[in-house]
Amino acid sequence: MRAEPQSFDRVLSSMCTEPHPVAREAAVRFLATNPGDPGTYPQVSELEREAVSRLGDVAGLAEASGYVASGGTEANLQAVRIARERADDHRPNVVMPESGHFSFRKAATVLEVDLRVVPTDDDHRADLEAVRQAADEETALVVGVAGSTEYGRVDPIPELGEVARAVDALFHVDAAWGGFVLPFTDYEWNFAHASVDTLTIDPHKMGQAAVPAGGLLVQDETLLDELAVDTPYLETTSQATLTGTRSGAGVASTVAALEELWPGGYAAQYERSQANAEWLAGELEALGYDVVEPTLPLVAADVSTPTFEALREAGWRISRTGSGELRVVCTPHVTRAMLEAFLADVAELTPQATAPVSSCD
Amino acid sequence: MRAEPQSFDRVLSSMCTEPHPVAREAAVRFLATNPGDPGTYPQVSELEREAVSRLGDVAGLAEASGYVASGGTEANLQAVRIARERADDHRPNVVMPESGHFSFRKAATVLEVDLRVVPTDDDHRADLEAVRQAADEETALVVGVAGSTEYGRVDPIPELGEVARAVDALFHVDAAWGGFVLPFTDYEWNFAHASVDTLTIDPHKMGQAAVPAGGLLVQDETLLDELAVDTPYLETTSQATLTGTRSGAGVASTVAALEELWPGGYAAQYERSQANAEWLAGELEALGYDVVEPTLPLVAADVSTPTFEALREAGWRISRTGSGELRVVCTPHVTRAMLEAFLADVAELTPQATAPVSSCD
């Protein structure tokens, strides 16, 4: 165990980030606790109620219900599971824009529901008309994305909520990544803006809590009943989570981060991250790359495969969209200095624009 | 965030324990890593391969495949999922003794398979004949328990494996809790002893790693293919885990604990824990309680509800079996001194045996 985790100096691909110091400290303190066993670990169980309440503040939900999940995948899967249990149909369907996270594909496989993936529009947002056409009486859930993984785009959430209502389906918003930056934008994305039933918001992404800390919020606490399983030996009556033993570190660091950063610290971080994304987008454009405008702190640019591979070789942790574009996620650990170093490497690998042919002589 | 986690001084109910100091140190060091994103976090990804290989050593599996899960619930659910995917039937069934963990009930609900729960024998072990009768051609999986949650019992694993083979089902062993004590007993429980396809063994229980660290091992790596989901943006081709982002802390602390403790440290710990369990069982019996003999370090005793409640009131973290017996799990943090203090409280609450009527005077 002499292995050292790499530093975050060259990590531009992660949806997660370095936990805030206060979040790290709380995680370490609660490392050996298990909110999945509240009869044994009552303190962390109490902290989880506080975490959910504070996540509700972020997502426009008074009297919030939900829990701190292992991450966005679990939260999304559980939202699909709630919808499946509520549906009358033997094999209901879920309607999702193609910008939805792959965890919904996993959920559909695990839960044996049909996933109807519909196209996005020219700006990578859900195509409302396509969603409307795909939704029918067997639709159990409509998914909207508030901060997509590939391009950081926000779907028209209120309108999608109306589509869901029209077919008597539940409406889920995946704000796993976007949830801690969207409050500082003009987007309509949460329970206060639309008819949202369930929402994913991950403290361990832009929330600067320690992994594993995902968040599932539900508009009505009876929705959690769909997930409840009896727990014979735990001195509690039932368990709504997908996992059993859970991380007290994630729960405690969520509370610590929210206590420290909501709302001022997150607002300041959003400003820094967004400014970084816009700066990087501008510089890449100046180098001649096609750039997808960063409406949230995430930049996508059409960099060739050899350039991409060379940047990976140089130690940069970067990844690609499904269409092959370079993605840079401007999480809190991504500083301007890092981006400057990265851009210098990109510039070096960029084929020189052909110099205008000299006409003298 | 001034909350402090309670100490382990009075925790007798947890299947988890305080992580070993080297495991804690490794968890803290890898707190901000994510083995679910190996393209970004290659070091912890490499550590996970080592963790799986070392878990294979414990469970009698050379060339081990599998992964470090969030816990036993995920590992058990994934085993059921593999079996469901392998089955031809639309709605296959899973045969499990009633001593099986409630995570299988959760798995059956999530995965929509039929769970056939069969009785245990007088010693709380799977009744082989009952399992044989319940298994049929629609059985996708037979479950055996190696260290049951309520009584620490080990099912007849080789024989259950034969029952599974006879109906062409997969065979799963749940050694989530028992896996780190069974190697020091005469029980036949693992891949080397029987025809086992999948096995759960949790480092964060008797393995003294930090939460969350469960283990899923598979006899043949192609079994993991049943779980694979494409991962478009992660610079890896697919993901077999149920969750997405995962805890590097759990992975690193698993490797650290195994490096430090396997096999000598675990053997010594087993001896201490087993001696503690036998001592406690003897003392409770002497106080007049019916005790279930601790064949592994777990004691169950028929303590009345008022006594149980009074012990909880006194701050002891204890829990009950489904039939209402007190359970004491002798995990590594449970010392003889703790048990002596606990027993003193039990004795004080025990109704005095009627003194023989004095015949003098």
Mean of pLDDT values over A342-349: 97
The residue with tokens 């594909």 is: A105
Q: Considering only CA atoms, which of B228, B243, B198 is closest in space to residue B55? A: B198
Partner residue facing B13 (CB), from A6, A39, A77: A39
**Distance, CA of B286 to CA of B278 (rounded, Å):** 12
Contact assignment for B1 to A18 by CB distance below 8 Å: no
List of chain B residues whose C-beta atoms are within 8 Å of the C-beta of residue A105: 229-230
- Cβ A100 vs Cβ A174: under 8 Å: yes
Contact assignment for B32 to A16 by CB distance below 8 Å: yes
Going by pLDDT thresholds of 50, 70 and 90, the confidence category of residue A351 is confident
In B240-307, the DSSP E strands lie at 291-292, 298-301
Give, in words, the CATH class of B264-349. alpha beta
Question: Residues B190-220: pLDDT tens digits?
Answer: 999 999 999 999 999 999 999 999 999 999 9
Phi, psi of B208, deg, nearest 5: 65, 25
Cis peptide bond prior to B42, omega within 30° of 0? no
Pairing label, strands A139-145, A170-174: parallel
List of chain A residues whose C-beta atoms are within 8 Å of the C-beta of residue B13: 37, 39-40, 235
Q: Which of A10, A29, A31, A227 to mutate to test the interface with B (most CBs of B within 10 A)?
A: A31
Partner residue facing A31 (CB), from B27, B81, B252: B27
Residue A288 amino acid letter = G
Residue B321 amino acid letter = T
B361 has pLDDT over 60: no
**Distance, CA of B101 to CA of B83 (rounded, Å):** 17
**The dihedral sign for the CA sequence A122, A126, A130, A132:** negative
Identify the DSSP state of B68: E
Contact assignment for B211 to A3 by CB distance below 8 Å: no
Quick one: tokens of B136?
Answer: 């049929």
- Cβ B134 vs Cβ B115: under 8 Å: no
Quick one: tokens of B274?
Answer: 């087993």
Question: Residues A279-294: pLDDT tens digits?
Answer: 999 999 999 999 999 9
Pairing label, strands B114-118, B93-97: parallel
Assembly ipTM: 0.93
How far is CA A224 from each of CA A75, A198, A287, rounded to the nearest angstrom? 12, 10, 50
Going by pLDDT thresholds of 50, 70 and 90, the confidence category of residue A238 is confident
- Cβ A320 vs Cβ A327: under 8 Å: yes
For B9, name the nearest residue in chain A, comparing CA atoms only: A40
List of chain A residues whose C-beta atoms are within 8 Å of the C-beta of residue B42: 6
Mean of pLDDT values over A243-255: 96
Going by pLDDT thresholds of 50, 70 and 90, the confidence category of residue A237 is low
Give me the pLDDT at residue B140, please.
98
- Cβ B330 vs Cβ B183: under 8 Å: no
Partner residue facing A5 (CB), from B4, B44, B214: B44
**Distance, CA of B121 to CA of A102 (rounded, Å):** 45
What is the number of helices (H) and of strands (E) in chain A?
10, 13
Mean of pLDDT values over B121-130: 98
Identify the DSSP state of A221: G
Mean of pLDDT values over A247-266: 98
The residue with tokens 């009074």 is: B310
**Distance, CA of B19 to CA of B233 (rounded, Å):** 34
How much is the mean pLDDT over chain A? Answer: 94
Phi, psi of A185, deg, nearest 5: -120, 180
How much is the mean pLDDT over chain B? Answer: 94
B21-261 and B264-349: same fold?
no
Q: Where are the domains of chain B?
A: 21-261, 264-349
Mapping DSSP to helix (H, G, I), strand (E, B) and coil, where does residue B71 land? coil
Q: What percent of chain B has pLDDT over 70?
A: 95
Give me the pLDDT at residue B360, please.
46
**How many other C-beta atoms can be found within 10 angstroms of the C-beta atom of residue B249?**
34
Give me the pLDDT at residue A6, please.
76
Nearest-CA distance B98 → chain A (Å): 12
Mapping DSSP to helix (H, G, I), strand (E, B) and coil, where does residue B349 land? helix
A84 has pLDDT over 60: yes
Quick one: tokens of A346?
Answer: 């990109």
Under CATH, which architecture does the B21-261 domain have?
A: 3-Layer(aba) Sandwich (3.40)
**How many other C-beta atoms can be found within 10 angstroms of the C-beta atom of residue A287?**
17
**Distance, CA of B143 to CA of B135 (rounded, Å):** 11
A211 has pLDDT over 50: yes
Partner residue facing A102 (CB), from B231, B235, B317: B231
